[in-house]
Structure 1
Amino acid sequence: MNRRDFLQSTVAGAAIVGTKQGVAAAPLPPLAPDALAGHTKLTEITIDGTRWAVWEDLRDADGAISFASPTGGLSLAKRTEPMFATADPPHLGLQMRDIALADADLLADRLLAGGGDPDPDRVRDAAPPSGSQFDADKIGARLPWTTFVGTRQAEDTMPVFRNGRTRTYRPEHRFPELSGDDIALHRREGLLGGWLPAVHKVIPREGGGHWDLLVFADTDADNRFIVETWHRTLHVEDGRIVAADYGHSYAPYPPRRAHPTPEAFYTALFRFARAWQAELVPGVTVSLPDAEWADMANHAFAKELIVRPGGTWPKYGAVDRDYYGSEYDGFQDTFTSSLYANLLWGRFAQARAVLDQYFTDFVFPDGLVDMRGPETGQYGLTLALIARYLRLTGDAATIGKHRDKIRATATLLADLHDASLKLPATDRGHGLIHGWSESDACLHPDPTLWWKPYWANSAFAVRGWREIAGIWVGIGGSAADAADWTDRAHRLQQRLEQGIRANIRRDLKPAYIGPLPGVDETFRQALSHGKRSEQGWPHRAYAELLQAGVLPPDLEALVIDCVRGHGGTTLGVVANVGAPNAESRDILGFISYGYAEALLRQDRIEEYLLFLYSHRFHAHTRGSWVAGEVSGITGDLALFCIPAQLTIPKLLRWMLAYEDADADRLHLARAVPTRWILSGKSIAIADAPTRWGPCGFSMRQVAADRIEATVQMPPRSPRETLLRVRLPSGRAIHRITIDGKTAAAPRGSDIPLPASGRPERRITIDLV
């Protein structure tokens, strides 16, 4: 159906069946009897023969929009966050110069002082919101957009600016007061329905009341590149609409193009919501005391579908040539971050599409990728994720289809390993895999400066070989290949550990280990000379080294302490490390999740939660949740990239359900905040995929001295399943019963769950 027919049919109240992708959303249950109390009826629409009344709670700027019919209801909640600094003074009272130049992470130290979990509100207020205090005249050639909308089917996205305008529609045409971005500096911003990609803005009016703006992409549009958009602008005072404007994509051109009617807008909104609900039917479901965390995960996956043309073709960024240009499409991080996140959340169809598309279009027969500068460590991560994909999905057909290219990837690393073994035994890189760590290395006049034996290259090769060898024969691969990769992984891990131990500088506090062997200076010292250094991009090298998870615990802890103690973190998140600068200290929004995973393995849970909170509040814009590749802590405007957006889903999943890579052990609720445990609200995850099968748990405090939990055991029980109950200081576990029988005392805060044939275990935890 073309656009004109659609608009005419919605004005007439005609029905349009299904969604653009042809996937039916779940049936809608009726609204609660009192759900519409105090709400204002806006209009009525007819969809698929059913009459729907449209209501909105105008008493509150965050009041829901609801659709009610005799057979069901749809309520779209609102939740906005201030897009302006709320703390005075900023930075917890510290001076920016001191924060920026210190080797220690002063903000993290202060937020973690005193022990216990960090306070998320205090973390939020530790710096101004990303994108809140930038000067549009000082951001170069970029457009000053702060969020964007789109659809799966469109091959582009539409930027949305601070005052709600897009590149094709301006609300100030009807309301001149909204002209310019200065009017919106003290706005609140959010997403309709909690996570739907519909931007909601609340802008206070100088004369009282507020402007309420909604912008979303038309899920029924079928233009290949053009993103058609719907707009609603309301002037609201004292719980009533004073004036309203509805728009679709372009300014009116009378008499052919007029403003759409409210009925057309709300019909499109209903269809938009149902289309996205059908798109994101989850494999994993969660219920948390703070609902925005699950919403962030859902929104991240929605944004991925928006950014990827057709939902599958990779794009690193959006809108701007950097990073939407085709030269970025084969970026390994886009592939690995997507495959990993979708696997963790049981989104197997999307994982399969991403894997198949990448190996079909971006991996050459010799294992190289169609991208300017291959990142050596990412080859190992790719192999590990392929093995994980097969273990979780059983989809041997897709893996078999690309078996030759997968083998070429593994043998490419073997060739690099062989080259290193030919070096003299006295060479610092003997036996360690050489190659670029960072893709940007190839853009410099002499990229050989970074063709070096970074520890991370070898660590990820060990992990990749170990994992791919474990599944290789089962998909028809050669037993000789599997044996060779297993042997290489063993030898390379020994060389890696030996090399790191030989290069530790214990004269520094904390002890220092460089990103590669044989360095004399710390990475900050090396980068302060104003010239290129082989220690460039150390944030990637450390994050990948830790993510591989192949170091013994003492070395892993030493690397974490080194990164945090020598200028490598900001607010507890891996920093974007460069030459020390008195005016800035940036957060690395993407690839840094490897550091967080190591914190979890090390049981440094308070630091893990600080990473989670800081990433949520400072690597994302507030409300509309646009994740920046690199984000400052002074309110500047970051460049969006999708790998950064897919970080929160990983951290949230690991918080709730985490499987040890090299032990037959499953952790449940390992990093759940203590404030959630004693909130009286449900904490639950269901159908989380693991190599033993789907698992989950639910936990809730039912009385002051009692917590009850139910665990969904995986079909093939691991040797150890541990349910953690993290309690604040002063509370302890007194007694545990499992399936009605008194259980052994917990191991710290971990409750061991004995393997049995029962698919469900019921646990009661009595507290003192």
Structure 2
Amino acid sequence: MDRRRFLAGGTAAAAIAPAAAAAAMPPLGPLGAAASLPVTERFTVDGAGWEVREDWSNRDGMLALVRGDVAVLLPKRTEAMHATATPPWLGLSLKAIAMADADLLADALLAGGGDPDPERVRDAAPPSGSEFEADKLGARLGWTSFVGTRQAGDTMPVFPNGRTRGYRPEHVFPALEGDAGAKTRFEGLLGGWLPAVHKAIPIAGGGWYDLIVFADVDADDPLLVQTWHRTVRVVGGRAVATHYGHSYAPFPPRRQNPDAAAFYTALLRFAIVWQGELADLAPTALPDSALTDMVAHAFAKELVVRPGGTYPKYGVVDRDYVGPEYDGFQDIFTSSVYANLEWGRFAQAKAVFDQYFDRFVGENGMVDMRGPEVPQFGLTLSLVARYLRYTGDIATVARVRGKVAATAQILAELHDQALALPATDRGHGLLHGWSESDACLHPDPSLWWKPYWNNSAWAVRGWRDLARVWPVIGTRAEADGWAARADRLEPHLIARIRQSVRRDLTPPYLGPLPGAEGTWRQALATRKRNEQGWSHRVYAELLQADVLPPDLAALVADCVRGHGGTCIGVTANFAPANADHRDQLGFISYGHARALLRLDQIEEYLLFLHSHRFHSHSRGSWVAGEVSGITGDLPLFCIPAQLTIPLLVRWLLAIEDDDADRLDLGRGIPRDWFAGGREIALRQAPTRWGRVDYATRFAAAARQATATLAFAARGPKEARVRFRLPADTKPVSATVDGRPARLAGDAVIIDARGGGRFEVVVRTR
């Protein structure tokens, strides 16, 4: 591959520079709605006077920090952390939902066709973390959210009533003691997405306690997280009592509670720093602003979770998830690099890339983590290729080319071992190995050293993607060797899958590996330790690798949903059928969702998106669970689950074909977004052709939908601009830059190889 041609297709390596941790000026904007708000406090920073203006007429009233005619606007958005739907589970019985092979809740939400209703999806189950009993959690603490900073090496848990491990609001407001009174609370994040917990706990007879907790961004403790607190008693639309705190209870006269000026000065700094941290995030405009905020908050949370913003951690607080034995977990690396690349956060992607390959990958390609997962080696190779294509940063990858090549060689060795098996062996030619890291923790881990489909699927994808870019940093011979292996393995994998489909079941069934006895549910019911354990990973990663022809990919997606493999449309945590729970798998499941979009199962994709938002996350404060039930239990947080929503939102707006020279724009946009007439936009989105701007909207009165797209350099051979208009609206003709254009269903197809700007107009009836 010509080096100059390669670089022309992406962003120059020089573009990879750290985002400013603290902008010189705060994120100021026009006063807007804050102009009419009452002034509640005043403070001074560097000689400049500031006002605090706040609306107490409702729990989501605006908070603004005002200087002259500009303001830092910190809106509030809270969600009920208690069940609001009666009866639960759409009126179905929990036992029926849990025991059924079919996903009964998904079937109900998709019945009748059309996009699923987000509010109905929300009400399909009680909120995550709303019904747990703290005294039954064993050694776990009953925290429901957490705060932190980039620089701190740990995080601080926040409990339902707003207390932390160092500070208790009930010292001043005794009515807040314990968590019983917080059962009916509302939760949110200050500023929409900032890592500042906002709670509203109702008071009998009206009013509420309003609590804000955030970490001190200027604290330099190596591990300890210092925290700021504000607790307000609101009655009759007025703040009748306000108390400020910092980290601990007072110890007079040496340690006193801070005053209002100290709190709001810290809050201003907090807003400045966090705006700077996410300054490189690709801008979006979505009718559902909560999704925009969820994207930003996920990246803020990643910086909080990672010590120094870059060192990997799987979870927080709880020893079993934050312990160092998890730090080298491949999924932490792959989910982070993938999400950061898709949103243009190249500096963070590079920092994570460097940290991982320097600290956790040996010269032989082996990762410093128990139970390496074979498919994740392939995904790592694919992401190395994506990193190169998006950033053009040859130097970063070239520095670790030996480790990357060794990673590819691990898969080659497993391939050679498989080819050496007798032709009659069920795993002949298919890569054997652990698909799930936890397999190695059992007395006999060889039980799971098997030819799972996803092992081979990701070997194909990893080799193929890496081979396409490798000549700019390695040898052509290496690239050709990997491409040849991919070309040899792919048809063999597809043939073996076709041979393994059970068409005697409805829908047709594919087991997680060749020769599997019974369905995975039957197998797990027979023996707890079974080779079909963790099959959820097999299906999700098999679909994500995108090496199956469409008919087989659709069969696998239908198989998963029809044989107990989804929960309210999201990949389920595979376990023996039981009468009292059915769980969502919040992490690794994004690959399953991506396949639904590629298969044009848009309604199912949107159900996945809404369900993950409402049921794999806590409401309002958006803490994502590794595995989340549908009965209000308290899940364990993990960062790969948190980074799922950014991927899903990015892809519904812009998604690349893995092999064809094609970019789909607007493929998964909900019809209601078009119906509302507001602009939908994703700007400066990174792709392998360079940065792309995309904006679209529908003017119902004019019977016209428009889209503009602009490519910084070259573009794809085929840019498909999708218009998922309201169901009663049909496109009848299209133009691109005023000239008649090809309209295929509801998509306009453009040859964008020359790059530049395009204006698409679709006439409707």
**TM superposition score normalised by structure 2:** 0.96
In 2: Cα distance, 1:733 partner to 1:116 partner: 17
Q: 2:565 aligns with which of 558, 563, 568?
A: 568
Deviation string for 1:385-415 (max 9, x for gaps)? 0011001101111101101111110001101
Q: For structure 1, which segment, 48-57 or 326-335, has the greater mean C-alpha deviation from structure 2 after superposition?
A: 48-57
Q: Do 1:530 and 1:579's aligned partners in 2 also have CA atoms closer than 8 Å?
A: no
Q: For structure 1, which segment, 748-757 or 277-286, has the greater mean C-alpha deviation from structure 2 after superposition?
A: 748-757
Deviation string for 1:564-620 (max 9, x for gaps)? 110000001000011111100000000001100110110000000000000000000
Query: Which position in structure 1 is the counterpart of 2:623?
Result: 626
Shift of 1:762: 1.6
Shift of 1:495: 1.2
Q: The residue matched to 2:761 in structure 1 has which SS?
A: strand
In 2: Cα distance, 1:601 partner to 1:498 partner: 22
Aligned pairs, how many?
747
Query: Which position in structure 1 is the counterpart of 2:323?
Result: 325
Query: Which position in structure 1 is the counterpart of 2:34?
Result: 35
The yes-or-no answer on 1:278 pairing with 2:276 is: yes
Shift of 1:364: 1.0
The yes-or-no answer on 1:594 pairing with 2:608 is: no
Q: Using a 3 Å threshold, how does the CA distance of structure 1 residues 121 and 738 change in structure 2: closer, same or farther? A: same
Deviation string for 1:67-93 (max 9, x for gaps)? 111253111000000000110000010
Deviation string for 1:688-731 (max 9, x for gaps)? 11111111211122342222221123521211001100123221
Deviation string for 1:37-62 (max 9, x for gaps)? 1x231211112332111110111111
Shift of 1:738: 2.0
Query: Which position in structure 1 is the counterpart of 2:87?
Result: 89
Q: The residue matched to 1:35 in structure 2 has which SS?
A: helix
In 1: Cα distance, 2:115 partner to 2:446 partner: 44
In 1: Cα distance, 2:369 partner to 2:136 partner: 30
Structure 2 counterpart of 1:389, one-letter code: Y
Q: 2:683 aligns with which of 681, 686, 689?
A: 686
Q: The residue matched to 1:684 in structure 2 has which SS?
A: strand
Deviation string for 1:90-142 (max 9, x for gaps)? 00100000000000000000100000000000000000000001111222210
Shift of 1:471: 1.4
Shift of 1:755: 2.9
In 1: Cα distance, 2:72 partner to 2:276 partner: 14
Shift of 1:678: 1.4
Deviation string for 1:337-363 (max 9, x for gaps)? 000000000000000000011000000
Query: Which position in structure 2 is the counterpart of 1:64?
Result: 62
Q: Do 1:30 and 1:72's aligned partners in 2 also have CA atoms closer than 8 Å?
A: yes
Superposed CA RMSD: 1.4
Shift of 1:319: 0.8
In 1: Cα distance, 2:429 partner to 2:503 partner: 24
Q: 1:484 aligns with which of 476, 481, 485?
A: 481
Q: Do 1:25 and 1:277's aligned partners in 2 also have CA atoms closer than 8 Å?
A: no
Q: Using a 3 Å threshold, how does the CA distance of structure 1 residues 30 and 534 change in structure 2: closer, same or farther? A: closer
Structure 1 counterpart of 2:224, one-letter code: I
Q: The residue matched to 2:690 in structure 1 has which SS?
A: coil
Query: Which position in structure 2 is the counterpart of 1:222?
Result: 220
The yes-or-no answer on 1:662 pairing with 2:623 is: no
Q: Do 2:26 and 2:272's aligned partners in 1 also have CA atoms closer than 8 Å?
A: no
Q: Do 2:375 and 2:459's aligned partners in 1 also have CA atoms closer than 8 Å?
A: yes
Query: Which position in structure 2 is the counterpart of 1:402?
Result: 400
Q: Using a 3 Å threshold, how does the CA distance of structure 1 residues 303 and 59 change in structure 2: closer, same or farther? A: same
In 1: Cα distance, 2:390 partner to 2:638 partner: 27
Structure 1 counterpart of 2:250, one-letter code: P
Query: Which position in structure 2 is the counterpart of 1:308?
Result: 306
In 2: Cα distance, 1:198 partner to 1:265 partner: 13
Structure 2 counterpart of 1:567, one-letter code: G
Q: Using a 3 Å threshold, how does the CA distance of structure 1 residues 20 and 662 change in structure 2: closer, same or farther? A: closer
In 2: Cα distance, 1:34 partner to 1:149 partner: 28
Q: For structure 1, which segment, 280-289 or 184-193, has the greater mean C-alpha deviation from structure 2 after superposition?
A: 280-289
Q: The residue matched to 2:378 in structure 1 has which SS?
A: helix
After superposition, residues 290-305 of structure 1 pair within 5 angstroms as 290-305=288-303
Q: The residue matched to 1:202 in structure 2 has which SS?
A: strand
Q: Using a 3 Å threshold, how does the CA distance of structure 1 residues 281 and 28 change in structure 2: closer, same or farther? A: closer
Q: Do 2:471 and 2:479's aligned partners in 1 also have CA atoms closer than 8 Å?
A: yes
Shift of 1:33: 5.4
Structure 1 counterpart of 2:681, one-letter code: A
The gaps in structure 2 that reach 5 residues or longer are 1-17
The gaps in structure 1 that reach 5 residues or longer are 1-18
The yes-or-no answer on 1:559 pairing with 2:556 is: yes
Percent of pairs identical after alignment?
62
After superposition, residues 722-741 of structure 1 pair within 5 angstroms as 722-741=720-739
Shift of 1:26: 5.8
After superposition, residues 159-308 of structure 1 pair within 5 angstroms as 159-308=157-306
In 2: Cα distance, 1:43 partner to 1:191 partner: 21
In 2: Cα distance, 1:461 partner to 1:544 partner: 11
Q: Do 1:20 and 1:219's aligned partners in 2 also have CA atoms closer than 8 Å?
A: no
Query: Which position in structure 1 is the counterpart of 2:50?
Result: 52
Shift of 1:34: 5.1
Query: Which position in structure 1 is the counterpart of 2:503?
Result: 506
Q: 1:361 aligns with which of 359, 363, 368?
A: 359
Q: Do 1:56 and 1:63's aligned partners in 2 also have CA atoms closer than 8 Å?
A: yes
In 2: Cα distance, 1:186 partner to 1:679 partner: 32
Q: The residue matched to 1:727 in structure 2 has which SS?
A: coil
In 2: Cα distance, 1:236 partner to 1:93 partner: 36
Structure 2 counterpart of 1:522, one-letter code: T
Q: For structure 1, which segment, 707-716 or 353-362, has the greater mean C-alpha deviation from structure 2 after superposition?
A: 707-716
Q: Using a 3 Å threshold, how does the CA distance of structure 1 residues 661 and 25 change in structure 2: closer, same or farther? A: farther
Query: Which position in structure 2 is the counterpart of 1:381?
Result: 379
Deviation string for 1:524-572 (max 9, x for gaps)? 0000014311000000011011110001111111111111110000001
Q: Do 1:699 and 1:710's aligned partners in 2 also have CA atoms closer than 8 Å?
A: yes
Deviation string for 1:471-523 (max 9, x for gaps)? 11211x12222111111111110110111011111111111111100012000
Q: Do 1:308 and 1:315's aligned partners in 2 also have CA atoms closer than 8 Å?
A: yes
Q: Using a 3 Å threshold, how does the CA distance of structure 1 residues 350 and 30 change in structure 2: closer, same or farther? A: closer
Q: 1:616 aligns with which of 613, 616, 621?
A: 613
In 2: Cα distance, 1:281 partner to 1:20 partner: 6
Q: Using a 3 Å threshold, how does the CA distance of structure 1 residues 316 and 25 change in structure 2: closer, same or farther? A: farther
Q: Do 2:27 and 2:271's aligned partners in 1 also have CA atoms closer than 8 Å?
A: no
In 1: Cα distance, 2:67 partner to 2:81 partner: 36
Q: The residue matched to 1:689 in structure 2 has which SS?
A: strand
Q: The residue matched to 1:518 in structure 2 has which SS?
A: coil
Q: Do 1:416 and 1:433's aligned partners in 2 also have CA atoms closer than 8 Å?
A: yes
The yes-or-no answer on 1:516 pairing with 2:513 is: yes
In 2: Cα distance, 1:384 partner to 1:73 partner: 44
Structure 2 counterpart of 1:761, one-letter code: F
